[in-house]
Amino acid sequence: MRKALTALTTLSLALAALLVSATPSVGASSYQVIVHPSNTISAVHRSFLADAYLKKVTRWPDQRVIRPADLSATSAARAQFSAEVLRRSIDAVKAYWQRRIFAGQAVPPPEFARDAEVISYVLQHPSAIGYISNVEGVEGVRIVAITY
């Protein structure tokens, strides 16, 4: 009985360690969310951000139209953003947009190949929101925290 209990405890500890290591940590993000410097938000809830990117919600609380910007499908930052924020794979997001386009409901956010292009888009549109690779020294835009 004691051996079975020890084995069960060891298995439980191993499973707990596996779950902790599989859970994305806030500091390990490969992306950062950005908005125009005139946007006063400092944090956005994950569900609001997901709804904005899927265009289920189209306006900021101040009623300005949300203009999300995506990185290309080959971007590591997009893969992590899609998994953590949208809780879908990139392919699932593409399928979602194909259905919405076919139904005449909406078009996907514009897609950009480089971080600099996303930054430029956000700076050109005061109600824009985007995400870029997690790099140091980003200037001109406001970096926004994601709350869960």
* Domain residue ranges in the chain: 27-147
Rounded to an integer, the average pLDDT of 141-148 is 96
Instruction: Using DSSP, state whether 53 is helix, strand or coil.
Output: helix
54-111: per-residue pLDDT in tens? Answer: 999 999 999 999 999 999 999 999 999 999 999 999 999 999 999 999 999 999 999 9
What is the CA 32 to chain-centroid distance, rounded? Answer: 8
pLDDT band at 3 (very low <50, low <70, confident <90, very high): low
Could you count the other beta carbons within 10 Å of the beta carbon of residue 37? 13
Instruction: Using DSSP, state whether 20 is helix, strand or coil.
Output: helix
Nearest to 80 by CA among 35, 128, 131: 131
26-37: per-residue pLDDT in tens? Answer: 446 899 999 999
Q: What is the pLDDT of residue 119?
A: 97
5-19: per-residue pLDDT in tens? Answer: 344 344 343 433 333
Handedness of CA 108, 111, 115, 120 (dihedral sign): negative
Rounded to an integer, the average pLDDT of 113-140 is 95
Task: Tell me how long the chain is.
Answer: 148
Which string of DSSP letters, residue by residue, matches 73-141? TT-HHHHHHIIIII-S-HHHHHHHHHHHHHTTS--PPPEESSHHHHHHHHHH-TTEEEEEE--S---SS
37-64: per-residue pLDDT in tens? Answer: 999 999 999 999 999 999 999 999 999 9
Fold (CATH) for 27-147: D-Maltodextrin-Binding Protein; domain 2 (3.40.190)
Q: How far apart are CA 85 and CA 43, in angstroms?
A: 14
Q: What is the pLDDT of residue 29?
A: 83
Could you count the other beta carbons within 10 Å of the beta carbon of residue 80? 18
